[in-house]
Structure 1
Amino acid sequence: MELRLKFFCCGYCFNFSRYPILGGIEIVALGGSALRVVEYISSLTYVPTLREVSEATGLSVSTVWRIVKQLEGLGISFKVVPFLGRMGLTEVLLVYRSRIPVKGVPEVLLRSLIRTLEGVTMLRYVSRRQEVEVVVNYVVDRVGIEPSEVYVLDSTVAPRYILTHIARGVVDRVYVRELLALASTYQQPAAPSVGTCDSIDIALVNLLEENALMKVKEALNYLKARSISVSYRTVLKHYHHHIVGRGVIAGIRPTVERYVEKLAPSTRRVLVVYGVPHSVAKAMRAVLGLPLFSEALLSSREGVAIATASTPVETLPKLVEFLDTLSSRGYIAEWRLLEIDPASQLRRPIPESLGSLSTTEIVAGSAGST
């Protein structure tokens, strides 16, 4: 029997449903109006206004606002997934087959640090496109250990079908077929023009990574606090021409994984590393099929994709089965499934200094200050 839950807010009622999943754990699925709002926002590559969401979903502006606030209360917010290659920047991933001490990791240009329970450390850095070697040499010198693998990350993928998983609440064979069908229809967008970036562009991307529904006034206050004096019109110009116009926003993702982790204490964050046998397009289709994946990075040159996902412990065997299915269909090659150590994760914004200085200058300045 289905249990209906009602959340009351300012006289409005939003329905949510409980669906059992493997091991007796229950996931609360978004229903009706809330699902339409989340699905519409997560389908965009720009920041929508509440009025636009209202017109697209058939709900009033006030109802959309209340739903967004209700979702925030449940731990579901919206974050932009940036494609830094469109800004003239590149991310590079250094993989170590050992647990590198956090204190030994250089912080300059660091984007994220992930350590797994299996003893793997992944360090992701950002640099200007033509200066990848500079940042790699810098990190290797500081850490004092040669990485086992180095990948230049030239593509990124935003989640598209997370909500299908939440609504169904189970990774079964029918669901796997649905995911494969959805992923097979994915069309890789054409690459817009690529340009350089300045500190304003980087600051806007950092803000959007935290809140995809930010207001221009919030951006102005943030820039002012960082001694960057700009006008309202200048912020809009940078956003429309430098961010949206160049395709910097790969997508907008709802942070559903945090919500699921609250409901299912036995949820684990996992890291999936697999080979790309034929093309980036196939790799993207494979990533889009991963249940509850929150971020995916691809290196087309080395033919490798790295994706993070959240899943209850009881569904891990199904995830393994799904990866085997992807492999048998030719979507992916050899794959590895690693469990992320939640106490050893670190994420940082893009250094705004990259808007005015080269990678070489930033690294040299860091070396001179130590």
Structure 2
Amino acid sequence: MAQSSTGRLFSLMVCLLPLALPAQGQENGYYPLRDWTGPNGGSMNISSFVFRDINDSGTYDLGDRVFVNVAVELLPPSGAAKMVRTNIGGYANFNTSLAQADAEITQAGTYTFSVVPPPGWTVTTGNREQAIPMSMLVGAPGDIVADHLPVPVGLVPTPEIRGQAAEGAEAVVARGPDGEAVPALPAEDGWYRLPVTPGRWTVGAQEVEVGRDRVILPLKWSDEARLDGEIVTLGFDDLFVGDQLMKVPNGYGGLHWENWVATHGRFYEGEGYINTMMSGEYVAYTSSGHPTAIAGDQPFDFIGGYFGVAWSSAEGETLHIRAWRGDTLVHDDEFALSAYGPVYFAADYKSITRLEFSTEHYWQAVADDLRFVTANSHQ
């Protein structure tokens, strides 16, 4: 079909208009083109990303979480290694610049990025060390570019069960999913440890479910029967509608809460808040590091929960947990906390009325996914 004069005029305008606008902007100096013949003189980051490989898949995928404050070393073509820690996004950023002498990468060559796992953690992705060539590219943000970026590095804790043997108790032996007996190994200060694999284990007469996180056992097991009801997991995410910080209110999970605060994991930018998160984006912590409590109008079971410490400057802080049945103290446990990932305390406290938590040096303990059976959870 023949094109009308109006159609030809419109097509001509469409073709000419984009050519005219940039010319006007350039004449005014509003939209200058870059002169690519000289160096930029600035900087850019080449980053190593580290994550908690929650499902132990060996790749960064859905459900995995960033790992904060992990040490990453950079070995240059010549000279000593330089160390940077991962930030709240899981990135260890190494500054790259030809012009800035204090940058970590200031010349072309092959650089080795090496993740240093915290004690008790191993790499799942098979790339703890990555050698990456760097080359000059005048006009790039730092005038140096990487051949390729570092591939994400995943870490998991080495599974183990830890406990304290009561005085005069027989040697502890555990049986794994395959039925093989595993004797406990001595740890420190009267503790024992059991090197285990994920699955259901029997320690003495008690069954313990082991995942990818380290499990702490109570000093003694409850003799009472578990309450008849569903296990309810409290992860604190359902408390929030947009806010990032709140005092945990009475009634949450059908319990009374004393001196507990719930917060978004990134609110304080503390490594332990982020590294202790097990589900969602929120955790709870002991307000100002002072003693806290959880109580019930009716007896309840405390099945267990995940615990860490808010800051790596308090690595190894001791958490004390005591459980009461009325006026009677029925459980008194303690264990060390880490800012590099939680331990699961398999409490299995039954028919208690009050839980008390305190840290030895008043650093903030962080908790997530606490599990209870309460009167309100009965079917």
Could you tell me the TM-score, scaled by structure 2's length? Answer: 0.24
More helix by share: 1
Structure with higher Rg: it is 2
More strand by share: 2
